[in-house]
Amino acid sequence: MMERFTISLDGELAREFDALIAERGYGNRSEAVRDLIRDRLAAWRLARDEAPYCVACLSYVYNHHERDLAERLTALQHEHHELTLATMHAHLDHEHCFEAAFLRGPTAAVRTFAEALIAERGVRHGKLNLVAVEVGRQHAHGYKPRVRGGSRHVHFKPTR
């Protein structure tokens, strides 16, 4: 069920908001307001430690010539394999690499892991983007030969 409410904006703020709506491709103001509210509520829950689980993208730039840094980063990810889903690696120039690590798990553990990785000597420009999720039941889908009952996994649903 949708609830309606009315807000008042001064003319300049309304014009800027309409420009944002047009630039981002929203169909109307309501869609844009819903996204803004969801974003602020998610940030509020994360800030208050009311989001026990998350999915996240940790992005960082590092100098691959820094002594043993690539090995230290890989070792840290292996030590936290339950949090690390995947890592994407790109070469920026002859010295610097850009990586994005896709993470999932308890929010506190994800934050601690990200802070430890960003704090490694030689890592620069680290940024963690968290999305609060709800954890569903573990269940199986379909049939896979050699695996009785199919592939078991847990769904993570973004919070409203």
Residues 111-148: pLDDT tens digits? 999 999 999 999 999 999 998 888 776 666 665 555 55
Structure confidence at residue 135 (pLDDT):
78
32 domain-assigned: yes
Domain count, the chain: 2
Q: What is the DSSP string of the chain?
A: ----------HHHHHHHHHHHHHHT-SSHHHHHHHHHHHHHHHHHHHTT---EEEEEEEEEEETTSTTHHHHHHHHHHHTTTTEEEEEEEE-SSSEEEEEEEEEEEHHHHHHHHHHHHTSTTEEEEEEEEEEEEEEEEEEES-BTTBTT-EEEEEEEE--
66 domain-assigned: yes
34 domain-assigned: yes
Looking up residue 74, the CATH number of its domain turns out to be: 3.30.70.1150
Kindly state whether residues 89 and 123 are assigned to the same domain. Answer: yes
Sheet containing 53-63, strands listed edge to edge, beginning at the edge strand earlier in sequence: 84-91, 96-106, 53-63, 123-141, 151-158
Higher pLDDT, 156 or 40: 40
Mean pLDDT of the chain: 87
Kindly state whether residues 18 and 67 are assigned to the same domain. Answer: no
Kindly state whether residues 93 and 108 are assigned to the same domain. Answer: yes
Kindly state whether residues 133 and 105 are assigned to the same domain. Answer: yes
Structure confidence at residue 129 (pLDDT):
93
Structure confidence at residue 64 (pLDDT):
87
Range of the domain at 62: 53-158
Does 19 score more than 90 pLDDT? yes
Kindly state whether residues 18 and 76 are assigned to the same domain. Answer: no
Mean pLDDT of 16-22: 93
28 domain-assigned: yes
Kindly state whether residues 65 and 112 are assigned to the same domain. Answer: yes
Kindly state whether residues 69 and 143 are assigned to the same domain. Answer: yes
Kindly state whether residues 64 and 108 are assigned to the same domain. Answer: yes
Rounded Cα–Cα distance for residues 27 and 33 (Å):
11
Kindly state whether residues 37 and 68 are assigned to the same domain. Answer: no
Q: Model's pTM, two decimal places?
A: 0.71
Kindly state whether residues 62 and 35 are assigned to the same domain. Answer: no
Rounded Cα–Cα distance for residues 117 and 92 (Å):
19
Structure confidence at residue 50 (pLDDT):
73
Residues 74-111: pLDDT tens digits? 999 999 999 999 999 999 999 999 999 999 999 999 99
